[in-house]
């Protein structure tokens, strides 16, 4: 992870601030506020602002009948109830803003979650940093044979080296051409005094998707949990999961009661259809049932068996 002198100066200035507020603050989150938490080889996540805490969720849920906050155990019970029964609006009362540095190809996957306010670094106005994401060898894998959007066996040895050399070589060459078209290096120096530089908004199209970009990403707690439920899942692409795992830790510091409920009911829990429920009931009663009798598709059956650790226990 590399921070520019300007970013380091900004972080130091932000951390030296001493503001007085009547709003709720969270001591554990305050400890890491503005810190750059490393992700991948050059990326980071910073919490730069937030609003609300667990009590904000509780207050929003109780507003309809005018009761304020109670003791923590009562608040925990209510938050678990809200999570268990898929109540949503109380969790929308909390918001958080992140500053994130990430590869462009992950940003394009990330932006599919259209439930946040985003402002990205503009390569129309500024020159992108000369930084590219290069995966560690253990994350290089062949295309999965049974999953169109997944990875298969790890690529090792000479083949892995060849792939990494190609990724690095292409990124460096396209960045060199990017500088030539701009007639300007990433450090601001001019390449040729007599050359005319191409507009930045045009030169940027030449860059590889593993080039790093940055953005501010602000969302409410409900939509953050929806994002993390998908992107912190073991089936998610490793690179975006790396960011989601760091964000999970910030949620734990910010709203610990909600975090526990989220991990229990959303991440650790499972959803069962009406047909799946009938299968489980029959199994509990000791009845024999197979996929043909269940009226479930092969994928649904396998997911149900995996969720309840039954895959190798049925004949």
Distance of alpha carbon 225 from the chain centroid:
10
Confirm if 96 and 250 have CB atoms less than 8 A apart: yes
Enumerate the β-bridge partners of residue 50.
96
- For tokens 């991990």, what's the residue? 263
- For tokens 């960045």, what's the residue? 175
Return the closest-CA partner of residue 91 out of 53, 144, 131.
53
Return the closest-CA partner of residue 83 out of 54, 63, 110, 112.
54
Cα→Cα distances 136→11, 107, 192, Å: 29, 19, 37
151, 231, 266, 299: which one is catalytic? 231
Cα separation, 47 vs 17, whole angstroms = 15
Q: How many CB atoms lie within 10 A of CB 302?
A: 13
Residue 231 is among the residues annotated as catalytic for this protein: yes
Catalytic center residues: 231
């Amino acid at each position: 992870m590399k921070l520019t002198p300007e970013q380091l100066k900004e972080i130091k200035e932000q951390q030296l601030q001493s503001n007085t507020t009547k709003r709720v603050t969270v001591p554990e989150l305050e400890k890491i506020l503005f810190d750059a938490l490393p992700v991948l080889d050059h990326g980071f996540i910073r919490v730069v602002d937030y609003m609300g805490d667990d009590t904000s969720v509780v207050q929003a849920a109780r507003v309809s009948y005018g009761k304020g906050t109670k003791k923590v155990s009562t608040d925990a019970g209510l938050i678990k109830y809200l999570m268990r029964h898929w109540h949503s609006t109380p969790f929308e009362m909390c918001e958080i803003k992140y500053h994130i540095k990430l590869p462009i190809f992950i940003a394009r996957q990330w932006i599919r979650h259209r439930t946040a306010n985003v402002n990205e670094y503009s390569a129309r106005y500024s020159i992108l940093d000369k930084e590219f994401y290069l995966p560690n060898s253990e994350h290089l894998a062949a295309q999965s044979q049974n999953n169109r959007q997944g990875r298969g066996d790890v690529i090792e040895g000479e083949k892995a080296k060849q792939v990494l050399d190609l990724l690095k070589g292409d990124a460096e060459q396209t960045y060199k051409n990017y500088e030539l078209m701009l007639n300007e290096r990433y450090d601001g120096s001019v390449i040729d005094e007599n050359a005319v530089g191409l507009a930045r908004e045009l030169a940027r199209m030449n860059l590889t998707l593993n080039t790093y970009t940055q953005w501010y990403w602000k969302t409410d707690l409900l939509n953050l949990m929806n994002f993390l439920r998908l992107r912190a899942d073991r089936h998610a692409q490793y690179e975006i999961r790396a960011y989601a795992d760091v964000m999970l830790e910030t949620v734990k510091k910010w709203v610990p009661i909600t975090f526990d409920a989220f991990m229990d009911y959303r991440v650790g829990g499972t959803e069962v259809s009406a047909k799946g429920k009938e299968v489980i009931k029959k199994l509990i009663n000791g009845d024999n049932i197979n996929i043909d009798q269940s009226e479930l598709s092969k994928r649904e059956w396998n997911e149900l068996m995996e969720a309840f650790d039954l895959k190798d226990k049925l004949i």
